[in-house]
Structure 1
Amino acid sequence: MAAIGAVFLVQYLLARGRLAWSGFQTAIDNEPLLLMCDGQFLEDAMRDARVTRATLMEKIRASKAGRIADIHAIVLETTGDISVLTRQETGPELLKGVRGA
């Protein structure tokens, strides 16, 4: 019970810290990472994120994009999800705050 209580306490303190100080949120949260841009795989970013080309190809196949040329960007989100953005749906505001964009 003490361990569970400690987990809840740490979670509560982190949530309060995020709300109270913007610098605290910047220090503990990840930022989205650009993994592919205009049909080019960004190998350094993929290596940093430990994401393989096979994983990105799986996400591309599952997306609405019919071809790699239709993809504007692939982003590793802060939650660990991978977003595939096609040229038709990507405005500059969607890549704001994405590392490498």
Structure 2
Amino acid sequence: MTYDKLFRLDGKRAVVLGAGSGIGRESARALAAHGAEVISADLDPAAARETGGRPYAIDLLEPGAAERAAAELGEIDIVVLTAATNVRKRLLDYTRAEFDRVVALNL
């Protein structure tokens, strides 16, 4: 068996959360390269479109967002969660709101 056959994802539906950039973007592209139907989900719909696949706008910090996405997207075989955020300053300089957002999304 070849690696290509071993890792083919033909007929599988994948959603990549945080697909607008970085590891998420490359994960989405790799899944597509191996045959998966990819839904590129991101807070930034333009970035999701640029990644490729089916763009899907989502704010994971919005209450009920995951449940709505599950209902709207239907059956999913693969979920990749790479959504994250950062504030470009020292942790001790974060406001309470900045700290709460980083922890809520990253953890």
TM-score (norm 1): 0.27
**Between Structure 1 and Structure 2, whose CA radius of gyration is higher?**
1
